[in-house]
Amino acid sequence: MSTWRTCAPTGLAVLLLLSLALTACERASTTQGEPSVRVGSKKFTESVILGEMVSQLARSTGASVRHRRELGGTAVLWEALRRGELDVYPEYTGTLRQELLSGRKLPDDAALRVALAEEGLRMSAPLGFNNTYALGMKEAEAERLGIRSISDLREHPALRFGFSNEFMERGDGWPALRDSYRLPQREVSGLDHDLAYRGMEAGSVQVTDLYSTDAEIAAYGLRVLVDDLHHFPAYDAVLLYRADLESRAPEALATILRLSGTLSEEKMVKLNARARLERVPEAQVASDFLSQALGVSTVVRGDSLASRVWLRTREHLFLVGVSLLGALALAVPLGVLASRSPRLGQAVLGLAGVIQTIPSLALLVVMIPLLGIGSRPAIAALFLYSLLPIVRNTASGLTGIPLEVRESADALGLPPRARLWRIDLPMASPSILAGIQTAAVINVGTATLGALVGAGGYGQPILTGIRLDDTRLILEGAVPAAVLALLVSGVFEALGRVLVPKGLRLRAESESR
């Protein structure tokens, strides 16, 4: 009994201090004084490169910059910008018009600027390239047939088309394109995008759909056909930023806006290819471009593997530690309540079970309007996921106490509170600890998704690795995550030896014999 009563609070206190220390670490990394600029980017290479350019330009003016890379989806960035958790991120006019503000039916960029201003947002002049749907074919073949624009395809009805499945089905995809250009081709197949490129190499496909700044355009030597009837909507790259940046960090903003008009499609294709195909880090790609095009020399900080892993370990532990402590504070009392009233127990367990079935990604996205981006939504989601195992194990540990023991405690005249602390919780401790262990191990795994909302952690290299198809990077996140899961599990095993009363361990031993 004395072991449990002194060790349990001590253990919790240690965990709490650890989390606080980690919070302090995170806080300390943002210095005061100079203006701060928070940059975001989407989880594809082009956006990350642009985000790096913006970050490096802002940093060159002395601003303190935080770049949240590879955030999961347009809606995440848009919400974060509106809520003031990001100051600037690269966006496309088409996305703004067709997706984010689709309800407004904005006819042109001028109307778009007005609509953005109502949200307290500004849009830079176009950066220079238009990343939209396009058709492409092998440069040599296009040259041989004299094809420069999509209209030219009408003269060559025998050409074999291979389009991505998405393009076959989109409203502005193949059916609409065929109608507006009156294209006569009959041999049109839908297939996976990667297969389409391979088909072009093999000659089985002669024309395919692509994004006009795809790295593959350079890699496969493709010619992008001019959309001479302007069928595809414009997806001009712009920088979207908060209006208050003009007063908060005027110098940094002015420097960032120098990017306008500097990036042609051809240039962007080359930059994408360097990052995606040659695997040059985005920061380096951005830095090289800035010194060539703008004469701005920036320092690219290459962190060592160890310091990268250490940083992510801290971020990851922070997510797991805080969420687990929060869950502990709520779930154990809930488990106690659940064990006392079967009806309430069913309600609590049912609710926790429903939470458990919400896909992690959905839960994270739901959290963003409430808690913004960064570690908060991730911690909230992990907190919710931790509840079920702890509540369930607390309740089952308590209801599993043998009848004669419960009756003895009652008959002694021990008041409920004393009974909870002296008898019930110590006797349920193996089960409660097992529940916390389960929650912790699940948390270590689930926390890797936190990177999608800018919470960092081991998910960051995994996300980058998936984007670049780089197994080494995926392992840089996955291996530490697995090691941490094992470590956490081991720590709880050890904790069990300290916290579970000796008498219960003796009984378990004699029963297993």
Partner 1 sequence: MYALQDVSKRFGTTQALHALNLTLPTGRTTVLLGPSGCGKSTLVRLLNGLLHPDTGQVLYGGKPLPTDAKALLSVRHRVGYALQGGGLFPHLTGEENVTLMAQHLRWSPAKTRERRDVLVELTRFPAEALARYPAQLSGGQRQRVALMRALMLDPEVLLLDEPLGALDPLVRHELQADLRAIFARLRKTVVLVTHDLAEAGFLGDDIVLMREGRVVQQGSLVDLETRPADPFVTRFIQAQRLAPGSGASA
**168 vs 414, beta carbon nearer partner 1:** 414
Binding site for partner 1 (CB under 8 A): 1, 4, 404-405, 407-415, 418, 422-423, 426-427, 501-504, 506-507, 510
Instruction: Read off the amino acid at residue 266.
Output: E
**158 vs 411, beta carbon nearer partner 1:** 411
Closest CA to 311 of 456, 181, 184, 210: 456
CA 480 to chain centre: 18
- Residue 428 CA to residue 332 CA, distance in Å, equals 11
**20 vs 418, beta carbon nearer partner 1:** 418
- Least gap, CB of 399 to partner 1 (angstroms): 16
- Environment class of residue 148 by beta-carbon count within 10 Å: exposed (0-12), middle (13-18) or buried (19+)? middle
- Least gap, CB of 377 to partner 1 (angstroms): 40
Q: Answer whether 68's CB lies under 8 Å from 39's CB.
A: yes
**118 vs 404, beta carbon nearer partner 1:** 404
- Least gap, CB of 337 to partner 1 (angstroms): 18
- Least gap, CB of 404 to partner 1 (angstroms): 4
- Residue 448 CA to residue 320 CA, distance in Å, equals 10
**75 vs 504, beta carbon nearer partner 1:** 504
Rounded to 5 degrees, what angle do the CA atoms 369, 45, 464 make?
A: 75
**33 vs 415, beta carbon nearer partner 1:** 415
- Least gap, CB of 504 to partner 1 (angstroms): 5
What one-character DSSP code corresponds to residue 352?
Answer: H
- Least gap, CB of 427 to partner 1 (angstroms): 6
Joined tokens for residue 472: 């080494």
**124 vs 393, beta carbon nearer partner 1:** 393
> What torsion, rounded to 10 degrees, do the Cα atoms 339, 344, 347, 348 define?
-50
Number of C-alpha atoms within 13 angstroms, CB side, residue 178? 16
**29 vs 341, beta carbon nearer partner 1:** 341
- Least gap, CB of 434 to partner 1 (angstroms): 16
**226 vs 401, beta carbon nearer partner 1:** 401
CA 313 to chain centre: 17
Q: Hey, how many other C-beta atoms are within 10 angstroms of the C-beta on 209?
A: 22
- Residue 139 CA to residue 158 CA, distance in Å, equals 18
- Residue 229 CA to residue 44 CA, distance in Å, equals 29
**244 vs 410, beta carbon nearer partner 1:** 410
DSSP 116-170: HHHTTEEEPSP-S-B--EEEEEEHHHHHHHT--BGGGGGG-TTPPEEEEHHHHHS
- Residue 497 CA to residue 429 CA, distance in Å, equals 11
- Least gap, CB of 413 to partner 1 (angstroms): 3
- Least gap, CB of 389 to partner 1 (angstroms): 23
Complete edge-to-edge strand list for the sheet that includes strand 133-138: 188-191, 161-164, 207-211, 133-138, 222-224
Q: Answer whether 41's CB lies under 8 Å from 272's CB.
A: no
**171 vs 413, beta carbon nearer partner 1:** 413
Longest Cα separation, the chain: 98
**351 vs 504, beta carbon nearer partner 1:** 504
- Least gap, CB of 395 to partner 1 (angstroms): 19
Joined tokens for residue 315: 């971020």
What one-character DSSP code corresponds to residue 225?
Answer: P
- Least gap, CB of 497 to partner 1 (angstroms): 14
- Least gap, CB of 407 to partner 1 (angstroms): 6
Complete edge-to-edge strand list for the sheet that includes strand 237-242: 64-71, 36-42, 88-92, 237-242, 121-123
Rounded to 5 degrees, what angle do the CA atoms 89, 458, 388 make?
A: 105
